[in-house]
Structure 1
């Protein structure tokens, strides 16, 4: 959505109201006295599930209870009739199905919702191609009903038919310690969430049955093995496919462990009332060659079909080498295994287009997108402001509907659908967008968000919700200090909060409010704290031998005002309250010490709500080091270098490589999400710029003085193989330790046209974990006159 349109919508909302416009031509059907009639041809358990789902969701929102009837009523109320598209009539009444070629409601999972006036009164038909068609037709109705206290209606006439574009539309919901909320859920909460996902087009749920942490979550309501069987039962109730993700994390050549693993699987298969797909990742985790993996999968399939004859086996090629990938395709060509359903494509898999090209057509491809993380992930937030990256972290509430719609559109045509990776309820909007666009790739994101708002918050909040979620996504675009829309978004959600007090216990509402408050608090802190740092740096830059001791004390006193007189304490207090509310309502663990989250990366934004957004921790440590230097001259030189770190003087330039606000000359972005460090559980005292980095940045400089000599200075870790205008330069200073300096003299011939391009070759470090890879965090182009600074 165009940011200008969002701001306009927000302003209009603040000035006007949240009233929903209904076209005059739409004549609503009043369903307050409706009854439900189900064809006996609808298979069990959907014959019971669909009317129960419809009745219960309506009752929650309206206080109106719809009852089932066994025959057409005599007093001619409106009847909601559930039938299959193969039915010709329902208890003597013909079903008014239009004769159309290639009808959506006869395709798998397709449905038609149709209003009709007939001899029995008014009928609202929900016609499904199969049991799932009934489920998704019911979901469409719930998303489009106007429901409020003692109000239940829908615009008429209705004739909507639809079928999904992709057959696999699911989400992984692991009941495990790693999750930031699922581990705290009851069976009833899982049932409700499965239901809500189904209402928005989801047809698959993936669990994680084995290989979990030795220590169970302190939040478990029932033991994990028991819950995973309950999840299977819920899938059976809603006719959802039950997948399980289960890596082989031991050497498959170990005969004893292999047999124990097969026995474990068989026991689980036998206990599950429903089980449709087994997904074994080749890597991440796992480190077995496919020559061992493929026979193991075949043995799994033999056990699986004993209890679930139609169930299927899947494999991902994650982490496989070129040789291992070739082996896999050779195996398919030679053996043509009919027990393998297809390949799962996830992070570190071979390119999707290559996979589709090489994979024989009889095998499907299922995408495994990471929709839950913000950094260090498959789809990092591009150019995410440093302040967000260091406070919100990996698993903050992250509605990114417009981004994920684009990401899905790129990959989906190569696939048969997806089951996403999710580690908590914080990505709820993303799940809905993926499911709905998996159903209809051309669906309007704005309309999807309107349906989300209408169903979860009420009919008067559909437009408001759609624009409010879009505004939250825009909060993460560009430099935070320059994004005045953050304050507008906050005012928007604050007004919604004030006008809708009845939603204060709704966990989805709480998530949006938390983001609105947190984003605003972070922006205000950033402006305030970095303002303090500029004042402290100015003091240090003006120090001299006589007053440097006093200046150090004064600089620390100024920069530490961030702790002594913090910005917006009322927002800080509200964030604390919302985190408590979310733990109570949905088990969201935003803190390790307070809510016993598994770890600080698991959505613990409350633990980082006050993490410094200036360099006061680093400055305190540096001043301690300065005081240990032998001479006052050395001390003074270091103080001045600190003072002008980001302001090297006229004609010189500084770039914080991965800061969207302080790296104006940087052209590149990290495409592997490893540019935000995670040291000391996120509580590093290192300079903020060194916690964000790239491996091989590229920068362009112009308006240079052709007659001046320039030096390039770099701070980082490991190697920095620098080129200027494509030519490698030899360094005059080259330190590989963390946060040390490297320098190169720029040849005069390079600056004669007033511009240079700076690039870095990426060193060969494939054998290293990303945390040990070389990195570059700060770059200066220093005019010779300012070199001593």
Structure 2
């Protein structure tokens, strides 16, 4: 028996040891003097790339360069150790083995990051299932470190184990003139960007090697063929799959062109140090029947495997007819090609559900989501305010994290992953969200954004960045004039800007500041310019009293104040400077004349920052036509029509069909949400409402006068096959030319219950180019005068 006093001392000592260990475990792991140790089993190139990535990214943010060692430090060691899950030890120290039965670190690309904190020293283990597991474990560590000039630490204890849900998580980075920024990048910029995508879970990069029939970009730092080989080298460095998108844009029945194309491919294959997948779209572009496409792809594969034995071929069914789709599946059933990896689903393909159902299980299905465009695209911004659509256009900075998290959640279960379509850095947040949710579909969007802010902007800006990006997404919700949050978002980002002057040259920071400023400037212009037009309409309404000439002159003087006395010139100036900053920092081309963008749809927000948000251009042109009318009465009548365009009078209704703020009775959303006709490179002088439209809108009218006679009036182009409460009506006026009028009398029996539904059958126009399809832009339900 031990003396009671000794037992008490032993118990106290044990308590002290446990308490000290608990304190050690709870304290952050200080890595300022850490060393890096690598298991010899980690394969190349990641055995070089992962430590280099870790040390370089830490050095940029802290000024600390971690040293690599080959053996364990003897005195008070703090070590970051890289190992594979199959390793038993590194330099004699056992690799921790998790009791977790699932052990995600043993699955492809999986990893575990675990801290081993003892009084003798601290080891932070990065344990990967394979080389990529090491890469992604390093990425997790970089996203979660607290890094600044005073700190380099990780919250303890650390014990995270995870593996990706989807095996394909990639993004297309096309080095071509149509890109709004990539074409201006150096090799070093591509390397850094691809590294950053890998840090956030990306495992594939897609290039565009051939068929750049346009002139080379004036921004190219290297000829396109050279840069595409460099991109292959970068993918090799980070152990990422290298895909190429390469359509067959000629007739495959032309043997000479077919042979030349095969030779062109082969020379590219031979030059690439890494090449994993060839993706040939069936259409968009391309117009070959699968009976020619499939043998061509087989021949491509024969040449491909001479240089890249494990590489595979992919095909999309974009643009295929029902007969062509059936032929493709018949070919698979009969030939069972082992050279085909799978099918890519893109815009114009049969549905994901149908494709997954019909595609034999041995073939994979990859999504090709368009995360780069805002309108006329696969994922348009729903009910986007007309003012944004006219000014921000297709490729503005577009962080849409919550929307794309939902979009991916809906599509991903049918697929084996994705490689997104991107034409520039403006969709950077969307890339990160897709990659992180491709890894973990349950990942919290706010936490993803916090990781984004912590890594790119600093440890104190994680929550601030998440909130700021979410606010930018909310800026695009609902009628802009009613969205007071836009001003709050600007104030929020201006406060961040004032507090963080060191971030002034960070291109991601600049991008968010540009969006916040542009949104607020557009809202202020909208309120101001629409107010001017209301005043001008009052002038036009007095034309019968003051005369047409005076009314038109006064109205133009009012609406043109938008140019003579513009609102918020300080915001306009800030937009100009931010666009210059972004061109300098990341090559973002926001203007055709100023920054030599390929086209006005390619992110040229600076070229549309002053585009009219009232109808002053249209009014000026319309007044010229009115002056040519023969009589004063005709002139007055037309001016009064214009003045009452959006305010048809008591008991009557007006809807601008694709305007979220001026179409309250519209129940449908067009295929492109807010479909801008895009005439004259976006500089159309047409009435704003006629530039946005739907093909077959649906509207509901309530609180109608049961005893009144109503007329439906429509302005648009082509056909308008109207039904009221499901009954097709015959028109009393039916003009098919652009911006002309059609009218129908509503049967009295339809309005007896005080409500009607108005719908339009969609005419059969599949033979027409989409720009020639019928469209409807403005709809009135007019109560006839005297109908009481």
- Settle same-fold status: TM greater than 0.5: yes
Q: Which TM-score band applies after superposition, normalised by the shorter structure?
A: over 0.9
Q: Can you give the 5+ residue segments of structure 1 that lack an aligned partner in the other structure? A: 1-22
Q: Which residue of 2 aligns with 1:152?
A: 152
**Is 2:384–2:673's contact at 8 Å kept on the other side of the alignment?**
no
Q: Which residue of 1 aligns with 2:560?
A: 560
User: Structure 1 residues 394 and 36 mapped into 2: Cα distance closer, same or farther (>3 Å)?
Assistant: same
**Is 1:653–1:780's contact at 8 Å kept on the other side of the alignment?**
yes
**Aligned pairs for 1:230-249 within 5 A:** 230-249=230-249
Q: Confirm or deny that 1:534 pairs with 2:529.
A: no
- d(CA) in 1 for partners of 2:608 and 2:467? 28
- Deviation, 1:542, is 1.9
- Deviation, 1:786, is 8.2
- d(CA) in 2 for partners of 1:786 and 1:117? 88
Q: Confirm or deny that 1:626 pairs with 2:592.
A: no
- d(CA) in 2 for partners of 1:641 and 1:268? 63
Give the secondary structure class of the aligned counterpart of 1:82.
Answer: strand
- d(CA) in 2 for partners of 1:213 and 1:636? 53
Give the secondary structure class of the aligned counterpart of 2:154.
Answer: strand
Q: Which residue of 1 aligns with 2:488?
A: 488
User: CA-to-partner distance for each residue in 1:701-753, whole Å, 9 max, x for gaps?
Assistant: 01111111111100000000000000011001100000000001111111111
Q: Confirm or deny that 1:727 pairs with 2:738.
A: no
**Is 1:74–1:120's contact at 8 Å kept on the other side of the alignment?**
no
User: CA-to-partner distance for each residue in 1:37-85, whole Å, 9 max, x for gaps?
Assistant: 1111000111110000000000000111111111111223310000100
Moved over 6 A (4+): none
- d(CA) in 2 for partners of 1:419 and 1:549? 59
Q: Confirm or deny that 1:615 pairs with 2:601.
A: no
TM-score by length of 1: 0.96
**Aligned pairs for 1:436-447 within 5 A:** 436-447=436-447
**Is 1:340–1:363's contact at 8 Å kept on the other side of the alignment?**
yes
User: Structure 1 residues 693 and 25 mapped into 2: Cα distance closer, same or farther (>3 Å)?
Assistant: farther
- d(CA) in 1 for partners of 2:552 and 2:315? 60
Q: Which residue of 1 aligns with 2:107?
A: 107
Give the secondary structure class of the aligned counterpart of 1:265.
Answer: helix
Q: Which residue of 1 aligns with 2:508?
A: 508
Give the secondary structure class of the aligned counterpart of 1:169.
Answer: strand
Q: Confirm or deny that 1:677 pairs with 2:672.
A: no
**Aligned pairs for 1:387-398 within 5 A:** 387-398=387-398
User: CA-to-partner distance for each residue in 1:634-683, whole Å, 9 max, x for gaps?
Assistant: 11111100110000000000000000000000000012457221100000
User: CA-to-partner distance for each residue in 1:450-475, whole Å, 9 max, x for gaps?
Assistant: 00000000000000000100000000
- d(CA) in 1 for partners of 2:348 and 2:739? 30
- d(CA) in 1 for partners of 2:535 and 2:550? 15
- Deviation, 1:25, is 9.2
Q: Confirm or deny that 1:650 pairs with 2:676.
A: no
**Is 2:384–2:674's contact at 8 Å kept on the other side of the alignment?**
no
- d(CA) in 2 for partners of 1:459 and 1:444? 19
- Deviation, 1:550, is 1.0
- d(CA) in 1 for partners of 2:546 and 2:616? 24
RMSD (Å), alpha carbons: 1.2
- Deviation, 1:547, is 2.3
Q: Which residue of 2 aligns with 1:3?
A: none
- Deviation, 1:26, is 4.9
- d(CA) in 1 for partners of 2:160 and 2:422? 32
TM-score by length of 2: 0.96
Q: Which residue of 2 aligns with 1:19?
A: none
Q: Which residue of 2 aligns with 1:296?
A: 296
**Aligned pairs for 1:159-558 within 5 A:** 159-544=159-544, 546-558=546-558
Q: Which residue of 1 aligns with 2:42?
A: 42
- d(CA) in 1 for partners of 2:470 and 2:259? 51
- Deviation, 1:120, is 6.5
User: CA-to-partner distance for each residue in 1:94-144, whole Å, 9 max, x for gaps?
Assistant: 011213323100000000001103697211000000000000000000000
- d(CA) in 1 for partners of 2:554 and 2:378? 44
- d(CA) in 2 for partners of 1:556 and 1:147? 58
**Is 1:618–1:685's contact at 8 Å kept on the other side of the alignment?**
yes
Give aligned pairs, total. Answer: 765
- d(CA) in 2 for partners of 1:378 and 1:786? 48
Give the secondary structure class of the aligned counterpart of 1:539.
Answer: helix
- d(CA) in 2 for partners of 1:720 and 1:786? 28
Q: Which residue of 1 aligns with 2:691?
A: 691
